[in-house]
Structure 1
Amino acid sequence: MLYESVFRTSELPMEDRFEAWVQRMGRTHAPLDLFSDRAVGYRAHQRSIELGDVVVWPATFDPLVFRRTPGLIRRSDPEVYHLSLLLRGEAGATWDRQEANYRSHDIHINTSSRPYEICTGSDPVTIVGLEIPRTLVALPQSRADRAVGLPVSGQAGIGALLSQFITRVVSDTDAYHPQDAARLGTVACDLVTAVFAHALDADFLVLPETRSRNLVLCIKAFIRRHLEDPELTPERIAAAHHISRSHLYRLFQSEDRSVGAYIRDQRLEYARHDLADPALRAVPIHAIAARWGFPRPADFTRAFRALYGIAPSETRGT
């Protein structure tokens, strides 16, 4: 059996869960600034499996923004490459002016030695992460570093081989002896080297829509973090992302709703969650509505009924 450690936020008090996840991520990959609109009661589950110098970690976690800053890199850099096989959800990543977005069965390539920001979507994400020392990738480091951000499919070619390998290993660690760990780590290093070389040789072009999709993900994460702010307006959102208001509107033309509708629906969803929370049963409905940006009860009731088909009081069960 391979050695593994298991982490579950469900085993911790609600108020301690997110900070524990921050600490866990710092030990698993590298110190990070993490942000989530669901920090209270945060849900995350991770297994960490050691394969010699390589670590594989399947995980499922709530929406999250990861930031690795120059200051954090100066403070501590384990000098690893990180690969994530995305199994559920979506994410966008930014390195300086380079951007990429990821959907199910894409492989994300990153490094602890370069600043970045990653924004996941509004739904929980399931990945299989892999940490490998940069020195174990058998390519000149200057060349290997250029693989960061290149698109790799986990469903075709060498990317599929790597995906099948890591998902098979994590699916049944009982099938292996402890002595197999280093051998499996060597296989992982060879496959990662092959994935890097293939991605570099292919010289993929980043599609024009990549930047826009990644920016939308980051904007949505920003909106969810600031839903309680009465000054959350398209103007403020555009300014925070260094774009014009018209550019913001164009970005949301490809979405299923406008930026204003997205803000409204997210506020309604958080209000619905509060109304269904037994711990908040004594809080008046109008107070919950005001907290989430609806100062006029009639407007809240009308919008709530339009989205969910029932009155707020019915959600509370009163």
Structure 2
Amino acid sequence: MLPEMTFRSADLPPADRFEYWQALMSETHAPMDLRSERSANLRVNQRNIPLGDMTVYPLKCESDSLTFLRTPKLIEKSDPEAYHLSLVKHGAGVVTLGRDTIAHSAFEYHTSDTSRPFEIDTGLGSFELIGIEVPKALLPLPSRTAGQAIGKRISARAGVGALLATFLTHVTGESHSYQPADAPRLSAVLADLVASLFAGVLDADRSLPPETHRRTLTLRIMAFIRDNADAPQLDVPAIAAAHHISVSYLHRLFQLEGNGATVAGFLQRQRLARARRDLADPLNQRVPVRVIAAQRGFSHAAAFSRAFRDAYGMTPTDYRRKSSRPFQVGAINSELELPA
């Protein structure tokens, strides 16, 4: 699994929690000043997950009031030259960058630059986010262009913003399923998604290198397949048409990833993984196998049975029987394949 550091304020005496968390945030992001009217009431759970030179960290916090300050003096003291993004999952906040003040709510990104002073006020109550620290040197976008995206309102509900949110939610939620050797690959995907997000906000797609365009399009197509895999009419031509590209170019995109995945194979794995989950669910014990197959996009029960046996080494019926035995139900995770 990926190495990670976990901080739980409840593990510390109340008098020490705020100071320890301030030190952690200064190390994770950049030296900053944290202020709270009732610091003893702070409750925080945070996991730092390094992806090479990048860091992502899911964070839940409850505090009566909380302000983050990055001042010119702190910038002069130390500047890691990085961009920060927070995917806000719950709560709200106000970010002040120079003369600009931006209010953020759930399912938006707030951004900052370690080289620019900022003030973030989270207000009262709790908030939940996934933070991202991206060294400027790793972002495949001119720094002058990327810097213009800082402070813009960016939605996580659609487009590349939603794609990045899906990626972050999966990586942080399934970090145990990755190995340290996967970190460079995940870091490259994250850098491409952030660059594409910034470029889209600025309508500056021409600033992106072709490789970043390609990776982002491939990730978008994979997300589309996962979202629509249950539709029996979904096939390779339909996937290509939905993205306004040719079938040959769609195949080329998957070939360029170099991991041996094909479009049809990726689609079938999504359907099989969902069907396997359904077969193991006790609530579906009375649902015929052919019905489960149809619900997961398979038009022919016999074809489903062959594909299932090839993938998992047993028939759907045998798998259901094995999964129903006490204490032998295996953990089943949906797939999120990422480019190499």
Normalization by structure 1: what TM-score?
Answer: 0.62
Superposed, 1:57-96 pairs within 5 Å as 57-61=57-61, 62=63, 63-96=65-98
- Preserved contact between residue 33 and residue 68 of structure 1 (Cα < 8 Å): yes
2:11 maps to a residue whose letter is E
Alignment partners' CA distance in 1, 2:183 and 2:133: 14
Alignment partners' CA distance in 2, 1:53 and 1:159: 22
Partner of 2:122: 120
Unaligned runs of 5+ in 2: 205-340
Alignment partners' CA distance in 1, 2:20 and 2:41: 11
Give the share of equivalent positions with the same residue, in percent.
Answer: 45
- Preserved contact between residue 15 and residue 41 of structure 1 (Cα < 8 Å): no
Is 1:133 the counterpart of 2:135 in the alignment? yes
- Preserved contact between residue 17 and residue 41 of structure 1 (Cα < 8 Å): no
Alignment partners' CA distance in 1, 2:92 and 2:110: 11
2:166 maps to a residue whose letter is Q
Superposed, 1:108-257 pairs within 5 Å as 108-201=110-203
The Cα of 1:174 is off from its aligned counterpart by 1.4
The Cα of 1:123 is off from its aligned counterpart by 1.0
- Preserved contact between residue 93 and residue 118 of structure 1 (Cα < 8 Å): yes
- Preserved contact between residue 89 and residue 121 of structure 1 (Cα < 8 Å): no
Partner of 1:34: 34
Alignment partners' CA distance in 2, 1:200 and 1:92: 21
The Cα of 1:176 is off from its aligned counterpart by 1.0
2:70 maps to a residue whose letter is R
Alignment partners' CA distance in 1, 2:124 and 2:38: 10
2:186 maps to a residue whose letter is L
Alignment partners' CA distance in 2, 1:98 and 1:8: 33
2:177 maps to a residue whose letter is A
SS in 2 for 1:37: coil
RMSD in angstroms over aligned alpha carbons?
1.3
Alignment partners' CA distance in 2, 1:151 and 1:138: 21
The Cα of 1:178 is off from its aligned counterpart by 1.4
Alignment partners' CA distance in 2, 1:167 and 1:92: 23
Q: Deviations over 1:88-147 (max 9, x none)?
A: 100010111112111011011111110000000211110000001011111211111111
- Compare CA radii of gyration and give the structure with the larger one: 2
SS in 2 for 1:84: strand
1:40 maps to a residue whose letter is A
Alignment partners' CA distance in 2, 1:60 and 1:174: 19
Alignment partners' CA distance in 2, 1:41 and 1:7: 16
Partner of 1:18: 18
Paired residues in the alignment total 203
Partner of 2:252: none
SS in 1 for 2:42: coil
After TM superposition, what 4+ stretches of structure 1 lie above 2 angstroms from structure 2? Answer: none
SS in 2 for 1:107: strand
Alignment partners' CA distance in 1, 2:141 and 2:101: 23
1:137 maps to a residue whose letter is L
1:69 maps to a residue whose letter is T
The Cα of 1:38 is off from its aligned counterpart by 2.4
Alignment partners' CA distance in 1, 2:126 and 2:164: 23
Partner of 1:5: 5
